[in-house]
């Protein structure tokens, strides 16, 4: 697991439209990077929708939102279209980036233990350092919390 103050691990993954994207293209900006378990599930839909609802505020503050799951680009396309999502979604089918960020962890559901993506968020500052790290995120109101954190961090 990662900690605030560490360098953010590199990211190179395809986006919803299968275009290769990297974290380096956002150098000099704040990035809210969030990992979520699965497209079109209740908590993930709440989280992505709330980021979309606030996207104009994030963009106005020059903050890039990036969501990552292990779903493929086609799943991301369907998720984006079904809910009108405006956040950048990246596909980590091979779980390489998820492993670098420590979000693949053992989870228990209905008494069964298995490895999966733990909902997690990271704020990366303009220098590429982790300014905020949270594993086990609650989806509701998280987008607003991240927006307020970055605004305070920038002026603090």
Catalytic residues: 44
Type and span of the H or E element at 116 = strand 112-117
Task: Find out whether 88 and 64 touch, Cβ atoms under 8 Å.
Answer: yes
CA 52 to chain centre: 12
Distance CA 18, CA 27 (A): 21
Q: Say which residues have a Cβ less than 8 Å from residue 72's Cβ, sequence separation at least 6.
A: 91, 93
| Sign of torsion over alpha carbons 124, 50, 99, 107 | positive
């Amino acid at each position: 697991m990662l900690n605030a103050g560490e360098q953010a691990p590199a990211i190179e993954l395809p986006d919803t439209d299968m275009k290769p994207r990297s974290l380096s293209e956002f150098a000099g900006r704040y990035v809210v990077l969030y990992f979520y378990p699965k497209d079109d599930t209740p908590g993930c839909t709440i989280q992505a929708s709330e980021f979309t609802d606030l996207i104009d505020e994030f963009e106005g503050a020059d903050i890039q939102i990036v969501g990552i799951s292990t779903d493929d680009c086609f799943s991301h396309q369907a998720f984006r279209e079904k809910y009108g999502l405006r956040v950048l979604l990246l596909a980590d089918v091979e779980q390489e980036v998820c492993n670098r960020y420590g979000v693949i962890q053992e989870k228990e559901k209905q008494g069964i233990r298995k490895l999966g993506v733990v909902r997690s968020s990271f704020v990366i500052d303009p220098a590429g350092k982790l300014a905020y790290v949270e594993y086990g995120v609650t989806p509701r109101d998280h987008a607003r919390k991240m927006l307020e954190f970055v605004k305070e961090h920038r002026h603090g």
